[in-house]
Structure 1
Amino acid sequence: MSDHIQIARHGAVQIIRMNRPDKKNALTRAMYATMTQAIVDGDADPAIRAHVFFGVPGAFSSGNDLQDFMAFVTTGNMGSEVIDFLVALASAKKPLVAGVDGLAIGIGSTIHFHCDLTFATPQSFFKTPFVDLGLVPEAGSSLLGPALMGHQRAFAFLAMGDGLNAVEAKEAGLVYKLVETEELENSVLKAATEIAAKPPQAMQLSRDLLRMPQDDIIERIKLEAKHFAERLQSAEARSALMAFLTRKKG
């Protein structure tokens, strides 16, 4: 389990808060495992009717911890924590709501393809630098992205790595509503509480009808993960990751 993930309750809403501000909420394997367990436990608890994801001021998440990536390049062992989390996202039985302030990079962006509502502040910024790092899209985004945004916008976002500011993310359908920073948490919790107050069986059925078939999403997540793992051990990705880490140190 990870001390960098805080789990709390707000009535019938479970709050999953990423809290690693010194690393802009870069996600480690332990953080993924803690969030996976929270989703599974919340789904099994009839007192929980919705899940909420928060980051810290200025950073929802800066993506995966690159040291974990480099460890996989060295050892060939990526572990199961990331894929377990992505499958838990795609399989979640209760509605998912998120509040974004600031950076939403990599998984910090693709998580919102699974969220039923995402609120963001005007200074939020969404970017997926997968190809720049010699990698491929993840979290089922190669399937969900074109369905949500259309092919060209999804290609620009997921393959070219063009970032989206808050207004562009809303126009693309990745964000439901823009709110001021001081209103973010209250707005998210208000919406999640309203969702939680609805008849739960009708809500779950309605949500299932609105979403793409779960099996299709999970199949794509696993296909992306296969390519992702292969790419991480490629010379192209190794060179791109080393260059990125060198720039960061500089």
Structure 2
Amino acid sequence: MTEHVRVEDLEGGVRLVTLDRPEKKNALTGAMYDAMRGALEGADASEAVGAVVFAGQPGAFSAGNDIADFVTRVDRPFGEAPSLRFIRQLARTRTPMVAAVDGVAVGVGTTLTLHCDLVYASPAARFRTPFVELGLVPEAASSYLLPRRVGRLKATEILLLSEMFGAEQAEALGLVNAVMPSDMLVEHAVAQAARLAALPRGALQAARALIRGDQAAVEAAVESEAAAFDSRLRTEETQAIFRAFLNRARPASA
């Protein structure tokens, strides 16, 4: 738990992980990634936690990586990056995960949901994966998972052209279970998570593994994407894009 991530264990065996950095639309820092990873590791180790719900403060799920925080880590080994450590944990977490998406879900804000067992969204949800625009490649096994969910052509449109799509389209594509009003969203996600947590634990995990398919392939995709991501991150092309992004983001007086 950090200043920007609240972790609460609720009745019914549900762990609620809330991103709480509204002034940055829940853009993720290294500390936030570490807090989320810890919440997942703790859930897997706990007999009391049967499901995890990811949510954001109303109006934003996550704007993706905090670029200013991210660029400070470029010279460090990428294998130790908090973002990659979180993604690795996300891919191998045995505890069922549910997402409640309200507002923007950019980059990892979208790819995180591909690992969730249930996903609910408000009408205000907006999904986008601008990796290539930033000189990078997709991450979190999205290059493997998304084509298998929506087909190669649609996945290409989403991942390469960074097409933004809303909650209704996400539901039509099979990326969202249901769309509901913002004021009911988290409550519904928690209720569904509690239903999962109430199921026999061994049977739930065995059935979940069958539904999710080839775990080794997912983890292999995480690693191959990470290697390509790291390589791209160190190119002058990508560094120039980051510099331009940060210069646009700075106030004129800075």
In the other structure, the counterpart of 1:142 is 143
RMSD: 1.3
AA at the equivalent of 2:20: N
TM-score w.r.t. the length of structure 1 is 0.96
Percent of residue pairs identical:
39
The answer to whether the 8 A contact 1:120-1:166 is kept is: yes
Q: How many residues align?
A: 249
In the other structure, the counterpart of 2:8 is 8
The answer to whether the 8 A contact 1:100-1:120 is kept is: yes
Q: Specify the SS of the correspondent of 1:47.
A: coil
TM-score w.r.t. the length of structure 2 is 0.94
The answer to whether the 8 A contact 2:29-2:70 is kept is: no
In the other structure, the counterpart of 1:231 is 232
- The answer for unaligned runs of 5 or more in structure 1 is none
- Shift in Å at residue 99 of structure 1? 0.4
CA distance in 1, matches of 2:196, 2:70: 37
- Shift in Å at residue 77 of structure 1? 4.5
- Shift in Å at residue 34 of structure 1? 1.0
CA distance in 1, matches of 2:122, 2:77: 37
- Shift in Å at residue 245 of structure 1? 2.2
Task: Provide, for residues 40-65 of structure 1, a one-character-per-residue CA deviation record: whole Å limited to 9, x for no partner.
Answer: 11111111110110111111000011
Task: Provide, for residues 15-68 of structure 1, a one-character-per-residue CA deviation record: whole Å limited to 9, x for no partner.
Answer: 111111111111111111111111011111111110110111111000011013
AA at the equivalent of 1:10: L
The answer to whether the 8 A contact 1:55-1:100 is kept is: yes
In the other structure, the counterpart of 2:192 is 191
- The answer for unaligned runs of 5 or more in structure 2 is none
In the other structure, the counterpart of 1:119 is 120
Q: Specify the SS of the correspondent of 1:139.
A: coil
CA distance in 1, matches of 2:73, 2:91: 24
Q: Which runs of 4+ in 1 moved over 6 A?
A: none
Task: Provide, for residues 53-107 of structure 1, a one-character-per-residue CA deviation record: whole Å limited to 9, x for no partner.
Answer: 011111100001101332234x344433111111111111111001011000000
The answer to whether the 8 A contact 1:100-1:118 is kept is: yes
Task: Provide, for residues 198-239 of structure 1, a one-character-per-residue CA deviation record: whole Å limited to 9, x for no partner.
Answer: 111111111000003221111111111111111111111112
